Amino acid sequence: MTVLTGAVRRVLPGGLELVAVERLGPPLAAVRLRLRAGSADEASGEHGLAHAVEHLVVRCSLQGGRVGDGALATAATGREHTTYRVLVRSGDLPAAVDVLGRAFTAPWADERILADELAVIRQEYAERAGDRRWRLQESLFSALWRPTAYAHPTLGDQPVPEGLTVEDVRRFHAARYRPAGALLVLAGEVAGQMDAVAEAASRWALEPSAPGRRGCGTGPPVRAVGAEIAEREGLAVGFAFGEPTGGDDGAHLSACRALARRAVRAVSGIDVRLLRLRGQRCTWLMLSAAHREAAAGAVGAALRSAVTRLRAPDGPAWLRAEALIPELRAVEDVESAAERALELGSAAGSWPALLAEVRAEDVTRTIGGWERRLGAVEFTRE
Amino acid sequence: MTIRQLVPYKTVLGDGTVVIADRGGAQRALETLTLALPLVSAGRDTALVAPLATAGWARAVTAAARRAGAEVRVEPVLSADFVGLTVECVGGRHGMPVRAVPDWIAAVAEPWRNEPREQADEAALRDAKRACLAGLTTDERWSSGVLRALFGPHHRYGLVHDERVARIAGCEAEDLRPVTRDLLTGPPVVALSLADPADEEAVRDALATAGRHPGQPGHPGVLPAAPRSPLPGQRPVALSLPGGRDTAYHLLGTPGVSLGSPDKFAVHMAWAMLGGREGMFGRRLREGRALTYSLAAFSREFAEAGYGVCMAVCRPGALREVADRTAAVLGDLAEGRFERALVASAKERLVIQNHRALQSGRDVTRRLCGYEIAGLPAADLVAYADRIGRVTGEQVRDVARRRLCIDEGGDEQGERTDGTTGVAVPGQEHGR
């Protein structure tokens, strides 16, 4: 298996971390710039600001985010980070890095541009709010992280932040869009381009570290919760729990969790989802059911049946066919390689080997842990 | 040089079975084989039920492989033009058990032959139905009305999700046997992405030895057969659908071109210029007006025909304005009223998209099968970037004029549904 041929990591003078994953395949390069600026950094009364800043950075700082003739950068705001992404031909890697690096330049928005962009965000909010699954997911997170700064949706809890001004945007950008603590990931045929990229990235503003997160202390609280919303027939029900990552959140456990997710999906179709936050990992899933108890029963049955399948005499072979093979297929995708590096850093370069080392009993133990934590949850209803 | 290039190599066996191997460059993480059976000359019911047949085949081939000690993953393949299976395994010491390939094809011919008949049929059918219905995509249910309007109720391109689900749910074991016979009438296509060229030879040898009609050298392989159902005359169509809370869909469908059409590259360019965040639809619908956030615009090409579609999510009260602006954008394209920079941008995005779509062995082998079944040389797949590079703005304007514009003959319909039925919008994150 030689699709990924390794990864390197450097920390540049301004504090920006650079991870490059060398990958064989079509002549493409995926670039990610992840900044420590998320909705958990917003003060009360300014919920949705991080997302509005992200829109304005794409529009103004990145000037639409076009690389060379064609590829367009995209962006997404999370609770702890905002990530800018682009996929380009290998030869355009330096230009892509240059475009994403403009995120450190303050957006020059005036009131008219701000009003334009807020109108777009209002429409985006209306579409999300019309999506039951999005509402359920946000109900789960709200229940899980109340009363911290992680509890409100990344889009904010109303269509746009009330009274938002250009000055608010500039203030948030100046405080949060810093190279210190940011992560730049390159994936593709990148080995020969590391020095040039490192030199370009070193020219980005050399500012002191961003201040600590507002109102979230050492991270979100740890608990297990459930939430439900009515559907036309029955309910959509979600279950979630958080757990401290401590010092044990290594690459091997990530590989175990990746294969455990595949195993549960193979036996039940249920997608167990994971979100890694500072000091905590959130695990959640959602499904449709007639009522809350039926949903809990279905989740328990799915997890137990995955464990039973893994413990069967042909369990290891089944794991390789149903979990390892699809996970290895994803390795071939250059954007998946970049996303993996956001999570694992340079260990992403060894991902195929890490997966191959996972045993059926490791996966059984992971799923058993999920079953214990999801067994008793406190419910909330929209 | 570490970049992997696609290097297809085709042979036709005596019985017409086509074997195409990707001999490009470095090893992949997985070895892959895709077996494809054309739907071109199949009946409508066969096309409707084919996903269930393939779920049964996947089960049968998995069982056959496991009996032989092979650790393979078998997934059904379903496209508008062919059905079949993709078999994947981890390369290296436990690579693809190539000598078993003919047995797998035999297992397709009689999916449940190795178990006691009566109860095994029932249980196997139940399992296959569950797997099949879970795997049927609902991501593009919103386009069902467009497909039905463009391709009519009789052609397989006009088959829609709800109709297929209902037919499969009511399907009996005896319904599947004629379907399998219908699909196995013509020779299959086998596409390979293997680490060792010697294994390609072994697959060819094994298939040739097991050939159903050996001794027909010079057989041309799969040829595009005469379609069993003719395509109706196509006209552009505009529809609206209720979306989630306080949202609606505006859908615009246009006739497209077949996979082998010389217009295909200009059509791709046209839709790439129309779609995307900075495309013509996005500018007209978002900037200054914020009429929509989720917007999708693309074309699809099949063996016999194709289509283009634009989907915009908006407030119900904005539907009229979105429809007018969308139609006006098509008019602009047909009159050549677009920035030249859009042409270069669309080319670049299409080339990137093409590379992106051919990263895994599964992607490559399925695409090779699709080209073969459409009667196209695999070399066309390799030449995509070059052909896109040669399209001019004038060619885009001309193709828009001929194929995309809504004129007075276009249908304008309102289609009502009773609430939000899980219609899925193409995924977007909370961002731009």
Phi and psi at residue B83, to the nearest 5°: -130, 165
A-B C-beta contacts closer than 8 Å: 175
Note whether B204 and B242 are same-domain residues.
Answer: no
DSSP letter for each residue of A270-335: ---EEEEETTEEEEEEEEEESSHHHHHHHHHHHHHHHHHHHHSTTHHHHHIIIIIHHHHHHHT-HH
CB B314 within 8 A of CB B292: yes
Cβ neighbors of A263 (< 8 A, separation 6 or more) are: A306, A309, A310, A319, A322, A323, A363, A367
Amino acid B319: pLDDT: 94
Residue B424 lies in a domain: no
CA atoms within 13 A on the CB side of B19: 26
**Closest CA of chain B from A323, distance in Å:** 9
pLDDT of residue B139 exceeding 70, the answer is: no
Report the distance separating Cα B332 and Cα B85, nearest Å: 44
CB A87 within 8 A of CB A335: yes
Phi and psi at residue A19, to the nearest 5°: -125, 130
pLDDT of residue B424 exceeding 50, the answer is: no
Residue B281 lies in a domain: yes
**Closest CA of chain B from A27, distance in Å:** 6
Note whether B189 and B251 are same-domain residues.
Answer: no
Mutate to test the interface with A, among B85, B342, B432 (most CBs of A within 10 A): B432
Amino acid B408: pLDDT: 47
More confident: B139 or A329: A329
Report the distance separating Cα B350 and Cα B253, nearest Å: 21
Torsion, Cα B234 B236 B242 B248, to 10 degrees, reads: 150
What confidence tens digit (pLDDT) does each residue in A2-31 have?
A: 577 789 999 998 899 999 999 888 899 999
Decide if B347 and A70 are in contact by the 8 Å CB cutoff. Answer: yes
What integer best gives the mean pLDDT of chain A?
A: 89
Amino acid B367: pLDDT: 96
Residue B356 lies in a domain: yes
Task: Give me the mean pLDDT over the A73-90 stretch.
Answer: 96
Note whether B139 and B260 are same-domain residues.
Answer: no
pLDDT of residue B144 exceeding 90, the answer is: no
Tokens of A326: 């699809």
Note whether B37 and B157 are same-domain residues.
Answer: yes
Number of separate domains in chain B: 2
pLDDT of residue B100 exceeding 50, the answer is: yes
Decide if B419 and A66 are in contact by the 8 Å CB cutoff. Answer: no
Report the distance separating Cα B42 and Cα B417, nearest Å: 32
CATH of the domain at B194: 3.30.830.10
Q: How confident is the model at residue A118 (pLDDT cuts 50, 70, 90)?
A: very high
Note whether B72 and B198 are same-domain residues.
Answer: yes
Which of A117, A93, A105 is CA-nearest to residue A21?
A93
Decide if B30 and A155 are in contact by the 8 Å CB cutoff. Answer: no
Distances (CA, A) of B47 to B17, B44, B149, B165, B223: 21, 5, 18, 12, 19
Residue B79 lies in a domain: yes
For chain A, list the domains and their CATH numbers: 4-202 (3.30.830.10), 224-381 (3.30.830.10)
Residue B215 lies in a domain: no
Contacts of B72 in chain A (CB under 8 A): 321, 325
pLDDT of residue B420 exceeding 50, the answer is: no
Amino acid A298: pLDDT: 94
Note whether B154 and B283 are same-domain residues.
Answer: no
Amino acid B232: pLDDT: 66
Amino acid B227: pLDDT: 55
Task: Give me the mean pLDDT over the B214-242 stretch.
Answer: 62
Which residues 184-243 in chain B show a CB within 8 A of chain A?
243
Note whether B199 and B126 are same-domain residues.
Answer: yes
Please give the model's pTM, rounded to 2 decimal places: 0.90
Percent of chain B at pLDDT exceeding 90: 45
Note whether B194 and B244 are same-domain residues.
Answer: no
Which of B363, B362, B380 is CA-nearest to residue B371?
B380
- Helix (H) / strand (E) containing B104: helix B101-109
Note whether B203 and B317 are same-domain residues.
Answer: no
Amino acid B429: pLDDT: 33
Range of the domain at B20: 8-209
Any chain A CB within 8 A of the CB of B88?
Answer: yes
List the helix and strand counts (H, then E) for chain B.
Answer: 15, 11
**Which of A66, A325, A335 faces B278 most closely, judged by CB atoms?**
A66
What confidence tens digit (pLDDT) does each residue in B304-346 have?
A: 999 999 999 999 999 999 999 999 999 999 999 999 999 999 9
pLDDT of residue B137 exceeding 80, the answer is: no
Decide if A127 and B293 are in contact by the 8 Å CB cutoff. Answer: yes
Note whether B167 and B21 are same-domain residues.
Answer: yes
Any chain A CB within 8 A of the CB of B420?
Answer: yes
Report the side by side order of strands in the sheet with A378-381.
Answer: A273-277, A280-289, A235-244, A224-230, A378-381
Contacts of B66 in chain A (CB under 8 A): 314, 317
Residue B49 lies in a domain: yes
Decide if A69 and B345 are in contact by the 8 Å CB cutoff. Answer: yes
What confidence tens digit (pLDDT) does each residue in A310-350 have?
A: 999 999 999 999 999 999 999 889 999 999 999 999 999 99
Residue B432 lies in a domain: no
Q: Where are the beta strands (DSSP E) in B45-167?
A: 73-78, 82-90
Task: Give me the mean pLDDT over the B95-99 stretch.
Answer: 75
Note whether B69 and B107 are same-domain residues.
Answer: yes
Q: How confident is the model at residue B416 (pLDDT cuts 50, 70, 90)?
A: very low
CB B185 within 8 A of CB B41: yes
Residue B220 lies in a domain: no
CB B241 within 8 A of CB B417: yes
Task: Give me the mean pLDDT over the B385-400 stretch.
Answer: 96
Decide if B425 and A1 are in contact by the 8 Å CB cutoff. Answer: no
**Last residue in a domain, options B209, B228, B258:** B209
Note whether B87 and B203 are same-domain residues.
Answer: yes
Contacts of B70 in chain A (CB under 8 A): none
Candidate from A162-171, B102-111, B251-260, B363-372 with smallest mean pLDDT? B102-111
CA atoms within 13 A on the CB side of A215: 16
